[in-house]
Amino acid sequence: MEIVPSQNVIGAEIHRVELAQPLSEAEFGRVEAAFNKHAVLCFRDQHLTEPQLIAFARRFGEVERIFLTHYAHPKYPEIMFVSNIKENGRDIGHADAGSVWHTDMSYTARPPRATMLYALEVPMEDGVTLGDTLFSSAADAHDSLPTEKQQRIAKLRAIHQVAGRRARTGTGQQDQALRKQQPAVLHPVARTHPHTGRKCLYVSKGECEGIEGMPQDEALMLIDELADHTTDPRFRHVHRWRVRDLLMWDNCTVQHLASFDYRWPKHRRLMHRITVDGTVPV
């Protein structure tokens, strides 16, 4: 196995490994250490059945139940379809996942440690791949804040609500009824990574509605400032997809954004998505 870090502050490719076979404890230890260090890992050219994908995800922890159940794989409910494909006029999967910078399911009490996307169809135009996924390091963003700012936010908690600002600003309209059932939760503005101990900024414009005990205007200004800082280009890594990529990311260390530069029915994009249990942010 070979671990090839990207040129960016996050991201690595793991070569010479076949995830269809169970990894030995030693191999898994190297993958997990690389995951904690680089936060976004890509395994190219993987040929995975659904049970093999689920088995690999389980090495990192319990696989989560999907709350948007109508996008779940009919035989493997741990897997959600992320796709722009329509059948009989209906989306077969979550079609606007990742339309704003965010970290997965921060609006839940125990957000997932990791998300995996396995690429089955990748949109192309004139030989150019579309639908990149962008990542940004919330850990490096925190590290680069002035000490006074780190101290100011150290004890603050933000209010996360999935049917919140993003829904009101026009994106994330899908599945509003289900989203509204998710109660708001409070999480530290800067959370501590459970494995690396690094502090990571943990707010996004789309899903943070306010800050506990702070006037709304002031809170939204601070959230927006920190969110913009988190996604500054110097902390970014862009993943350009190939069919049969297995990509996984750490939802504490990074935020991500999907690019929607492809259109149905001209382009087709299909991913299998799976999330692994995390810890309560502290």
CB 143 within 8 A of CB 193: no
Structure tokens at 214: 């702070």
Say whether residue 231 binds ligand SIN (CB under 6 A): no
Q: Which of 97, 105, 200, 208 binds ligand SIN (CB under 6 A)?
A: 97
Cβ distance to ligand SIN smaller for residue 27 or 277: 277
DSSP string, 228-278: HHHT-GGGEEEEPP-TT-EEEEETTTEEEEE-----TTT---EEEEEEE--
- C-alpha distance across the termini of the chain, in Å: 34
Using rule CB under 6 A, residue 83 touches ligand SIN: no
The verdict on 111 binding ligand SIN (CB under 6 A) reads no
Q: Is 14 helix (H, G, I), strand (E, B) or coil?
A: strand
Please give the full DSSP string across 112-124, using - where no structure is assigned. Answer: -SEEEEEEEE--E
Out of 52, 108, 133, 137, name the contact with ligand SIN by CB under 6 A: 133
The distance of closest approach from Cβ of residue 221 to ligand SIN in the complex, given in angstroms and rounded to an integer, is 26
Q: How far is the CB of 25 from ligand SIN (least distance, A)?
A: 29
Question: Residues 9, 12, 39, 82: which binds ligand SIN (CB under 6 A)?
Answer: 82
CA 140 to chain centre: 17
User: Which residue's CB is nearer to ligand SIN, number 52 or number 275?
Assistant: 275
Is 246 an interacting residue with respect to ligand SIN (CB under 6 A)?
no
Which residues sit at the interface with ligand SIN, rule CB under 6 A?
Answer: 82, 97-98, 104, 115, 133, 256, 258, 271
